[in-house]
Amino acid sequence: MPDGGKQTPIDSAMVGRATGQTPNYGVVDSRYVIQGTTTAWMSPGPGLPPLTEFPSAQTRGRQFDFPVNVNLIPRARTYEQVSFDQLRALADNCDILRLVIENEKDNLAALKWKFKPIDTKKKPDDRCKQLTAFFQMPDKEHTWDEWLRMLLEDLFVIDAPTLYPLKTKGGDVAPSGTLTDWYGFEPMDGATIKRFILPNGRTPLPPNPAYQQILKGIQAVDYTRDELIYRPRNPRTNKIYGYSPVEQVLTTVNISIRRALNQLSYYTEGNVPDLLFGVPDSWQPDQIKQFQAWWDSLTVGQTKKHGRFIPGGIAPHDTKPLALKDEYDEWLARVICFAFSTAPTPFIKQMNRATADNAKEEAKQEGLLPRMNWIRNLVNYIVWKYFGWTDLEFDWDQAEELDPLIAAQIQDLKVRNGTKSVDEARQEDGDDPIGMGNAVYTATGPVGVMDFDKQQEEKQRAAAEASAAAAHAGGAPRASGEEPPDDTPSSDKPASAAPKDESGAPDKHAHAHLEKKKSLTGTDPDAEHIADGADALAEIIEPFLEAQAGVIAAQLGAALGLGKMAEDDPKFRSDEAVDKLDFADWRDIVPKVEDQLVRVAVAGGTDALKQLDLFSDETKDQMTERATAWAKERAAEMVGMKLDADGKLVPNPDAKWQITQGTRELIRGTVTDAVRGGWSNDRLAAALKDGAGFSKERAMNIARTESGFADTAGNIAGWKASEVVEGKQWRAAPGCCDLCRDLDGEIVGLDETFSNGSNGAPAHPKCRCANLPVLKTK
């Protein structure tokens, strides 16, 4: 560069245009390259340059176009359409709005809360206890509920919740790391706080004042961002102050107030009588006046409520027939409630339960949870900024569900899946423990949750029992923990050492291949076909029981003469009527139940043959024949019937586990109440449907038990067809009842019953015991 020359930097945009990095859209003029101007046909033209008299740095990044000298305005919200005082007046004078606000405050103040480490792997320490104690009375004057309600009032109405951090000994408000340095966080009237902003439209940083309190119209005191907590929930980029729910429905609230005033005037204003009476046409004015005077003497009081007599026949004429409430009132209530995400149920016409529950859940998700999040963020801001404990956080105790029904359902789910024990659930409810540990609740009952070592021990015990049963069939089972005489597994050891010249004798061990099996598991209460069978049976039994409730109620109504009070002994009458009930219609369910029992029994028998490694068609056909025969008998027996020689259903006085007799016993109390109270047939039918005898739970219980019966019967049918099994052994489930525990290890023949009178598991509803095959030794 020559001496005296001037160095001018080249704009990067010019370089981009000259090098082709910026598209020219067909413009090749040099002015486009140098200046960026285009001469294209009908071009948009160059943009106006910024004003050069003001440096761009003073306006770059400005949040919004605020009024000039806005910080000099002596009052808050001067440029807004509505003031803080007007918002509060609206909230205080609209009944529906005030009720909604108070309801929201009640809901949020009732929630349980806690402090915990942010790191979920850490446990709460002493600081969490200190914070909990501190926020029980955050300002040393009001409790948490009262303190929170004060903040929420300003949040909902003016969106200017404000707290004043107060130190015990005064001084700087920097984080101290200890609670004793802080006296409290006192609520202040957010309507007295005016915000300052920087030229970029944002709040000034300390030590510059960020807020100013206006008292009696005078600028009283300035605060920095550290000296005052000003937390509107709904700030906007183009406004200095927040946007409250009340302001969002300003017009609707105004209409609601005016409508209420109009309704009030209906009762308090006007000089037109509410009612006019017609008199005969022949009456003269002086006669009407005379009669009116006499009438008024009878009804002394405010003249507005007096009737007036006019010519035209003796007939009353109402001068105010208009309704005081219509659909528009509901619309106003809906809009106000929607602004707070509150269900409008109390203010509108009755809705069905499903719709009401839906609205309640939506209101919870849309309204309560976001405000819970705002409160959590506010408290965390205090803990992190003023206490300096950034590793702790405030959180809601979600174990305390808002809806008691939902809380009970959550607790029930945790108990059933083993996450929580019954005792833990009882202690949460304030009840004493009863000694029940964790368990997983399956379709057939509870299964105790044990640690891994105990589970392995249980598996080894079950395998040892099965091996002992196979090795000592017909004799006493080996005691628990007894080992074989040498290192040879009991299932592999031959019954006796055969002489060399007799090693091939066929009668020494007719089924040697079975002894190589490590264990025979027998019946399995968790088998898939049992669960499928239970579901299929439930689909049959549940609607059948529901329909029979009305049929049984009609029979009882005819027999008892329901509808009038009982004059003789209600218990005797009801028992007599119940004992004489006709269950003939119940035989209609037999074919459907029979099909499902056959399916489960054959599946159980097939599993039994697989365990024995028997797959011949002949063996399977024999098993299927036996299983099908059992299913036919059991389906009939279930409703108190049996098959005669012709295959027809006839009453069976010796039927076991019949649901008809069980139904009688379950409805006796209800029928007695019906006789004593003179119920109608419809009321009795409704009570029976809601009772245990015809309930969905009973249908599922019957289905599970019958499916378990079918599986055991199928296994026994398979064992009989195999010709290698001579008996069956009871294996009690872990944590079983005393009845089943007494049966543990008991061995009987295939056609014999156990000591409890049953052919095998289940011994009772929800029984989880199993039966093992006992192999022949010769």
- The residues, ordered by sequence, that sit 6+ positions from 656 with a Cβ below 8 Å of its Cβ are 637
Are residues 397 and 504 located together in one domain of the fold?
no
Quick check: bond before 484 cis, omega within 30? no
Residue, of 566 and 93, whose pLDDT is higher: 93
Distances (CA, A) of 530 to 526, 599, 605, 746: 7, 10, 12, 24
Is the pLDDT assigned to residue 521 strictly greater than 90?
no
- Answer yes or no: is pLDDT of 338 > 80: yes
Average pLDDT over residues 379-397: 92
Tokens of 371: 């405000």
- Give the pLDDT of residue 13: 62
- Provide the β-strand partners of residue 731: 770
How far, CA to CA in Å, does 426 sit from each of 398, 404, 423, 429, 430?
17, 15, 5, 5, 6
* Residue 55 is assigned to a structural domain of this protein: no
Query: In angstroms, rounded to a whole number, what is the distance separating the alpha carbons of residues 651 and 344?
Result: 59
Q: Does pLDDT of 118 surpass 80?
A: yes
Sheet of 229-230, strands arranged across: 182-188, 162-167, 229-230
Res 484: pLDDT: 36
Q: Which of 377, 402, 427 is the last residue of a domain?
A: 402
247 shares its domain with 147? yes
Task: Report d(CA 543, CA 538) in Å as an integer.
Answer: 8
Minimum mean pLDDT range among 138-152, 364-378, 502-516? 502-516
Does pLDDT of 545 surpass 50? yes
Full residue range of the structural domain in which residue 114 is found: 79-269+328-402
Is it the case that residue 136 has pLDDT exceeding 60? Answer: yes
In this structure, the answer to whether residues 677 and 601 fall within a common structural domain is yes
Considering the domain boundaries, does residue 72 fall inside one? Answer: no
Q: Which of 117, 148, 151, 149 is nearest to 131 (CA)?
A: 117
Q: DSSP states of 310-359 as a string?
A: EESSS-EEES----S--HHHHHHHHHHHHHTT---GGGS----HHHHHHH
Q: What is the pLDDT of residues 144-176, one digit of tens each?
A: 999 999 999 999 999 999 999 998 877 677 766
> 754-771 pLDDT, tens per residue?
988 888 989 888 888 999
**pLDDT reported for residue 697:** 87
Q: Do β-strands 229-230 and 162-167 pair in parallel, antiparallel, or remain unpaired? A: antiparallel
User: Are 705 and 672 part of one and the same domain?
Assistant: yes
Kindly write down the DSSP assignment for every residue of 101-154, as one continuous string: HHHHHHHHHT--EEEEESSTTSPP-HHHHHHHHHHHSTTSSS-HHHHHHHHHHH
**Look-up of token digits 């091996």:** 467
> Cβ contacts of residue 85 below 8 Å, gap of 6+?
191
pLDDT for position 610: 87
CA neighbor of 241 nearest in space, from 207, 199, 192: 192
**544 in the same domain as 424:** no
Q: What does the alpha-carbon distance between residue 204 and residue 503 come to, in Å, rounded to a whole number?
A: 103
pLDDT at 468 over 90: no
Q: Of the ranges 217-221, 314-318, 625-629, which one carries the lowest mean pLDDT score? A: 314-318
Q: How many CB atoms sit inside 10 A of residue 94's CB? A: 24
* Domain-located, residue 299: no
Choose between 403 and 772: higher pLDDT: 772
pLDDT digits (tens, 9 = 90+) for 299-317: 665 554 555 555 555 565 5
Q: How far, in Å, are 49, 53, 233 from residue 56 at the CA level?
A: 11, 9, 32
Handedness of CA 221, 224, 230, 232 (dihedral sign): positive
What confidence tier does 17 reach under pLDDT thresholds 50, 70, 90?
low
pLDDT at 229 exceeding the cut of 60: yes
Q: Are residues 695 and 737 part of one domain?
A: no
pLDDT at 354: 52
What per-residue confidence (pLDDT) applies to 203? 94
In a domain, 141, yes or no: yes
Q: How many domains does the chain have?
A: 6
Same domain, yes or no: 463 and 549: no
